[in-house]
Amino acid sequence: MTKDLHENVCEEHIYKSLYNKYAKELHDYLYYKYGEQSNPGDKAQDAFIKLWENCRKVLFSKARGFLYKVANNMVLNDIKHQKVVLRYQQEKPQQYTNENPEFLMEKEQYFKKYQQALTKLSEEQRVAFMLNKVEGKKHEEIAEQLGVTRKVVEYRIYSAFTLLKTELDNFKIK
């Protein structure tokens, strides 16, 4: 018993002997208990990694129990996680909203007005406006893409914004 206290699991030859002695046994235990879906080989390897990380805390005589406990807990945690994933996969998303029908109708009508207002813009204004506000490109990027100066792009966006404000009520863009 006193020999156990002095033997360090961190010593390479002791760790290697533990691995050679218990790796297959641990794999088989996990395979028989939980099946192939639990990846018994991976869990056994992970248990040995945990043993190595905690080698100063684990006595040689307790190493086998430590390995089995850690591997078993890893598999149980994995199973618990799979149950949570399965439960969320089975839940169906809501097919309704809390918005009233009047709001939905107004939203649809406003979108139609917005599309009509966009058609009233010149092609240059519309392209510059959409690249900036929809795609989020900066003025310099748009200028480079269109082959014009930054000031021209700014003017096109500003004029498009002005026209859209006159066509649409409460038109604001961040």
Same domain, 84 and 130: no
107 and 55, same structural domain? no
Q: Over the stretch 96-142, which tens digit does the pLDDT of each residue have?
A: 667 788 888 888 888 888 888 888 888 888 889 888 988 889 999 89
pLDDT digits (tens, 9 = 90+) for 34-91: 888 888 999 999 999 999 998 888 888 889 999 999 999 999 999 899 888 888 888 7
Of 59, 90, 121, the last residue of a domain is 90
Q: Looking at the structure, do residues 42 and 61 belong to the same domain, yes or no?
A: yes
**Distance (Å, whole) CA 17 – CA 106:** 74
**pLDDT by residue (tens digit) across 5-36?**
456 788 888 989 999 999 999 999 888 888 88
Question: Full-prediction pTM beyond 0.85?
Answer: no
Radius of gyration in angstroms for the set of CA atoms belonging to the chain, rounded to a whole number: 33
Q: 135 and 110, same structural domain?
A: yes
Structural domain for 156, as ranges: 101-167
Split into its structural domains, the chain has a count of 2
| Residues 56 and 109 both lie in one domain | no
Provide the pLDDT for residue 174: 57
In a domain, 172, yes or no: no
